[in-house]
Amino acid sequence: MTIADDTSQTPEQVADPAPVATTPGGDEWWRSAVIYQIYPRSFADANGDGMGDLAGITARLTALAELGVDAIWLSPFYRSPQRDGGYDVSDYCDVDPIFGTLEDFGRLQERAHELGLRVIVDLVPNHTSSEHAWFEEALAAPEGSRERARYIFRDGRGENGDVPPNNWESVFGGRAWTRTARPDGSPGQWYLHLFDESQPDLDWSNPEVRAEFVRILRFWLDRGVDGFRVDVAHGLVKEEGLPDYAKPLTGGSMGGAGVPLTPEIEAEAAQEPPTPPYWGQEGVHEIYREWRRVLDEYEGDRMLVAEAWVDPLPKLAKWVRPDEMDQAFNFAYLETPWEGPALRRVIADSLSAFGAVGAPSTWVLSNHDVVRHASRLALTAENPQGAGIGPNSDGKPIPDLGIRRARAASLLMLALPGSAYVYQGEDLGLPEVIDLPDEARQDPTWYRTGGERYGRDGCRVPIPWEASAPAYGFSPTGRTWLPQPEEWAELARDAQQGVPGSTLELYRRALELRREHGLGRGAIEWLPGYSEQVVALVVGEVTVVANTGETPVELPAGEVLLSSEPLSEAALPADTTVWLRVSG
């Protein structure tokens, strides 16, 4: 094996953990699946109103089958006033008219299944919309009533009850409590909302709430869905007595969880980090055990994936113990900077933490809540998760560096054993849209922080399909609910299709090779002898080398299967990943 020519580090300094076996357990499809996230508002608009819809998705599904993914996950398309992009659900068992009808969903699912794509839908159990019938009944009902007991209503503190029941803050900014008014107009009780005030938290200690969500699970399972992505899966249960949080929530959109595993953090993670009284409470596990039993009644490996911003990784692994969920999003991986040591550490920690409970690791770099990785990996200043980037942000991304690193990071991710998530448009190399006009922004974070945090609109801009069509093929009328940048013509899918070296072809070929070589399953083995900034590993018969440093790295002799940048001779340039079949 050749040695990296960056001699600033000795091999001793880059000693890596022992090889780790992974993808334990059976042969269920989700253990190694590549799952494509569709954000329905922004994927494809068939009826021309500027908002994506289910018929639009159905019409575009062949593109995803051609890309080579195994499944799609649809962010919420249920009835909703859209105060939080559909994560504010007013009816869990119906489709919002802006997206279509239940029949449209049936056609989408049928088409997906014909194409060999599984379908995962989003479940939002932590809160409903304030326009959900239950909440409307609760507001109309007296204090202490059965209707109110489905949510978390409390009297205020202070003489007139005008101090909120505790000091909890909303993830989107501002306090997590809103005061109600009595029928005579006088101020009444407060209700809890960890997110927007239009998203009241349910009380999961109430058996009626539990029964209702089992009913909702069955509603979609009976219709044939293959799984559920569970929103805020760390938040359903709150600590008894709702005590003040000694360290109020600041910064990160999901509560500051998922901290990258630097050596300092590693030391800290050896002890359990403080748990806020609303995240990661033990009581959530009992709920998922019940759901597991429900899913197991159905044929065909139906799955649950947790969106749980919990760290460290061994704690997150509790969500995927054999009698609970199947996967959890690996946000520790998403939040890891493009740096060799941190990447090696998080890969090893992920495989060992999830492997210890018999679950596959997942890998994810982008989604509808974070700055797209084609921008995030080249930011020049700290950017707390959920803050977003806008015209006045410090440390805007370096454009060419961002896409170069994103391609390298994606190629590394797609080689790792376990299940990988791809967010719509990352396969086109889309960057975060930074210069959205203020009046176009819709994320509640933007409003609740008075513009201090831009929020997540920049990763939700409707995606481009055809370079020369109106709205780049997103909508036949050219309407789009968020404006698309002019530069996106050259990133449109048809402008990249079949073009050697395009990001789309990189993803397509990576998925083809991943399948051919069974990369999603098996074990990794670290390759010794490279410098600190190089991640070098073998999966099956494929050698993967990612160079996060500045110095070119000499490569072993062999056949280049795929590279994130053109290679000259046998050297791997900075910010590049290669897949090789080493000779001999």
Q: Is 457 in the site for ligand BGC (CB under 6 A)?
A: no
Write down the least CB distance from residue 235 to ligand BGC, Å. 9
Closest CA to 506 of 498, 495, 515: 498
Helical (H) or strand (E) element with 504: helix 503-516
CB burial readout 78-113, b (16+ within 10 A) else e = bbbebbbbbbbbbbbeebbebbbeeebbebbbebbe
- Distances in whole angstroms, Cα of residue 39 to Cα of each of 45, 74, 243, 287, 369: 12, 6, 36, 27, 11
Write down the least CB distance from residue 310 to ligand BGC, Å. 12
Among residues 6, 203, 307, 311, which is the contact residue for ligand BGC, using CB under 6 A? 307
Record the tokens describing residue 193, joined without a space. Answer: 């909302």
For Cα atoms 371, 373, 376, give the angle at the middle one, nearest 5 degrees.
Answer: 60
Radius of gyration of the chain (CA): 24
For ligand BGC, the closer CB: 368 or 372: 368
Site for ligand BGC in 146-205 (CB under 6 A): 195
What is the Cα–Cα distance from 187 to 195, expressed in whole angstroms? 22
CA dihedral (538, 541, 547, 552) positive or negative? positive
Record the tokens describing residue 290, joined without a space. Answer: 């019940």
For ligand BGC, the closer CB: 233 or 555: 233
**E runs forming strands in 461-531:** 523-526
Write down the least CB distance from residue 82 to ligand BGC, Å. 12
* Beta-carbon count within 10 A of 582 CB: 15
Residue 396 amino acid letter? K
- Distances in whole angstroms, Cα of residue 572 to Cα of each of 170, 525, 565, 567: 46, 20, 9, 7
Write down the least CB distance from residue 74 to ligand BGC, Å. 13
Write down the least CB distance from residue 231 to ligand BGC, Å. 5
Running DSSP on this structure, what letter comes out for residue 275?
A: P
Kindly report whether the peptide bond that precedes residue 97 is cis, defined as omega within 30 degrees of 0.
no
CA dihedral (84, 86, 88, 90) positive or negative? positive
430 strand-pairing partners: none
Q: Is 335 in the site for ligand BGC (CB under 6 A)?
A: no
Q: Is 84 in the site for ligand BGC (CB under 6 A)?
A: yes
Write down the least CB distance from residue 544 to ligand BGC, Å. 30
Record the tokens describing residue 406, joined without a space. Answer: 């994103």
The residue from 12, 222, 264, 297 that is catalytic is 297
Site for ligand BGC in 352-371 (CB under 6 A): 368-369
For ligand BGC, the closer CB: 173 or 573: 173
Active site (annotated) includes residue 96:
no
Among residues 77, 78, 87, 151, which is the contact residue for ligand BGC, using CB under 6 A? 87
State the number of binding residues for ligand BGC (CB under 6 A). Answer: 9
Write down the least CB distance from residue 194 to ligand BGC, Å. 8
What is the Cα–Cα distance from 16 to 31, expressed in whole angstroms? 25
Contact 281, 275 (CB under 8 A): yes
Active site (annotated) includes residue 268:
no
Binding mask 227-266 for ligand BGC (x = CB under 6 A): ----xx----------------------------------
The residue from 84, 104, 196, 231 that is catalytic is 231
What is the Cα–Cα distance from 42 to 140, expressed in whole angstroms? 36
For ligand BGC, the closer CB: 229 or 405: 229
For ligand BGC, the closer CB: 220 or 530: 220
For ligand BGC, the closer CB: 124 or 287: 124
For ligand BGC, the closer CB: 254 or 535: 254
Write down the least CB distance from residue 468 to ligand BGC, Å. 32
For ligand BGC, the closer CB: 355 or 458: 458
Binding mask 100-139 for ligand BGC (x = CB under 6 A): ------------------------x---------------
Residue 408 amino acid letter? A
Residue sitting closest to ligand BGC (CB): 87
Closest CA to 401 of 573, 570, 561: 573
What is the Cα–Cα distance from 318 to 419, expressed in whole angstroms? 18
Residues noted as catalytic: 231, 297
Contact positions vs ligand BGC (CB under 6 A): 84, 87, 124, 195, 231-232, 307, 368-369
